[in-house]
Amino acid sequence: MRAKQLQVLKVGKNPSIGKGADAILYNLAFSPKITHIDFSDDPLQNSDTAETIYKLVKISGSLETLILKNTWINSYLKEEFYIALGENKTIKYLNIDFNTPMPVNQLQLLGKACGMNKKKNGSLKYLSIERCIANYAMLNSFFESFRVSDVMHENWYGDKKVAKEMTKEQLITKSEFGLQYLNLGRSILGDSRFKLKEVMKWKDPKWPQLIYIFGE
């Protein structure tokens, strides 16, 4: 916590880091100038670390790049992480590439968080989720999750009692797509349930400038 000038930290490919990552992440949450954190290929395989990452995203007022590539953390992230991501004002780039697909419910939470980040004028523009999508149905569900409403916003960031009383236009979902780059590389998109024509009917979807799907 004394390293007030620290801006970039890269501690990837450290198989023995274990829960030592928790203390590092917790202290960086209070760092006033940290902008770039990279834990690529570190085994962050426990719920305590996921909790610390949530607190980092919730607290940090400077972080712009968070790389959690191949850390196994995807399986441990809870809804609170995605809620924090949705309201974070500084994160521009998030990488949670993994070697197996994400559960559908987590993909939906991720899409919803991205939508909320756009709705709340956040900075998230670049997202990398290589290998995280197994088929077109999952891809379709992910894109659908960018559609958010005022009542969904109230449930996440306001008063649930107020949300229950919301009506009419407040219940209508709108695509809030603020990404400029979306990396879906090495995903297994092998079925035909992704209805491109239906997606194109969405009102003003504002697709990213670049969607990367295939590649080695």
Question: Which of 31, 50, 49, 39 minimizes the C-alpha distance to 13?
Answer: 39
Please tell me the total number of residues recorded for the chain in this structure.
Answer: 216
Report phi then psi at 133, rounded to 5: -120, 125
The helix, strand and coil proportions of the chain, stated in percent and rounded to the nearest 5, come to 40, 10, 50
pLDDT of res. 210 = 60
Q: How do strand 65-67 and strand 93-95 relate by DSSP bridges? A: parallel
pLDDT of res. 136 = 79
pLDDT of res. 18 = 83
Residues 6+ apart with CB under 8 A from 152: 112, 116, 173
Token code pair at residue 133: 């999508």
Distance between CA atoms of residues 183 and 5, nearest Å:
31
Distance between CA atoms of residues 32 and 1, nearest Å:
10
Distances (CA, A) of 99 to 52, 59, 110, 119, 144: 23, 29, 17, 30, 23
CATH 3.80.10.10 fits 8-212, yes or no: yes
175: β partners = 147
Q: Is the pTM of this model over 0.85?
A: yes
CB 168 within 8 A of CB 132: no
For residue 174, give the 3-state DSSP assignment: strand
Helix (H) or strand (E) holding 81: helix 79-87
Q: How do the pLDDT tens digits run along the chain, 216 residues long?
A: 566 889 999 999 998 898 899 999 999 999 999 999 999 999 999 999 999 999 999 999 999 999 999 999 999 999 999 999 999 999 999 999 998 999 999 999 999 999 999 999 999 999 999 999 988 788 889 999 999 999 999 999 999 999 999 999 999 999 999 998 988 887 776 544 445 556 556 556 666 666 665 444
The ranges assigned to domains in the chain are: 8-212
pLDDT of res. 216 = 41
